[in-house]
Homo-oligomer: A and B are copies of this chain.
Amino acid sequence: MTSARELAYEVLQRGITSGQYPPGSWLREEDVAAEAGVSRTPVREALHRLQAEGLVQILRHRGAMVVGWTAEDLDHLYDLRVMLECYGVRRAAARCDDIDFPALWALCDEMDELLPHADEHDRQRLGQLCIDFHTTLQRASGNRQLLNLLPTVLGTPFVRQAFHHHTTADLERSFGHHREILEALQAGDGDWADGVMRAHLRHGRRSLQGMERHGQPAELGSETVIRSPDQPTLSSSPAPDIQTGTRAALPSARTTPG
């Protein structure tokens, strides 16, 4: 059974990913609640989670705004993924017994099976499978803190939406990387696994190169720079400026493929 909070979270994430809620737009709790068919309470919790993941920004007594992404942000995101996931896979290589190879190979099989004749819905599914693959892999790192960080770098609209932008050839190579990583891990070769993972992620970033042009500039908040006065952060110093929309904004594209 799925909880109301997860329902609201999925509605929000899908809305942001699909472009229904473009960067710079305000998310009114009442509207989202109505769309998800739940009350405001779980919507609020979902919004707070999305803020922790960097997808929205909540301003007290004003509401939640979808944050805009730039090509630079995409670079930064992949920087972090390379660091964290290469570290994790290197650790996993030294802890082969903790790796759930059957599940991982099964994920590879399922992805390969889906790819050749994938429609839009299948693409969505491929994205989830890929996230599952990377998560299952990192679980073997034995680093719980790393697992806590993963949702923030894997749950972004890009990683989810990327599969609508990759070409089939790109995806074939990516899935090949997946299998090669598993081979490296079965051989217990951390260097090998690290290298493939690095290539895998850099290639993934590269094949999103064209994605920047798919974003439509945000209607709202042109030149708007929001200063969040009291973001619930752990620091007592003021929160950083977050600029929304515009510039080379990458507003998570639309559902229809390019």
Residues of A within 8 A of B (CB): 3, 5-6, 9, 41, 44-45, 48-49, 52-54, 60, 72-73, 76-77, 79-80, 83-84, 87, 103, 128, 131-132, 135-136, 139, 142-156, 230, 232-237, 240, 242
Contacts and interface: CB of A to CB of B under 8 A. Distances in A.
A154 to B, nearest CB: 6
A205 B210 CA distance: 43
B131 A234 contact: yes
Contact of A230 (B3, B72, B152, B230): B3
B148 A54 contact: yes
Given A49-B52, A84-B83, A230-B3, A144 B73 contact: yes
A235 B131 contact: yes
A9 B154 CA distance: 26
B237 A53 contact: no
Given A52-B52, A83-B84, A73 B240 contact: no
Contacts of A48: 45, 48-49
Given A76-B145, A77-B145, A79-B143, 19 more contacts: A6-B232, A41-B41, A44-B45, A45-B48, A49-B52, A52-B52, A52-B148, A52-B151, A53-B148, A76-B146, A79-B87, A80-B84, A80-B143, A80-B145, A139-B240, A145-B156, A149-B149, A150-B234, A151-B233
A68 B232 CA distance: 24
A246 to B, nearest CB: 16
A73 B143 CA distance: 7
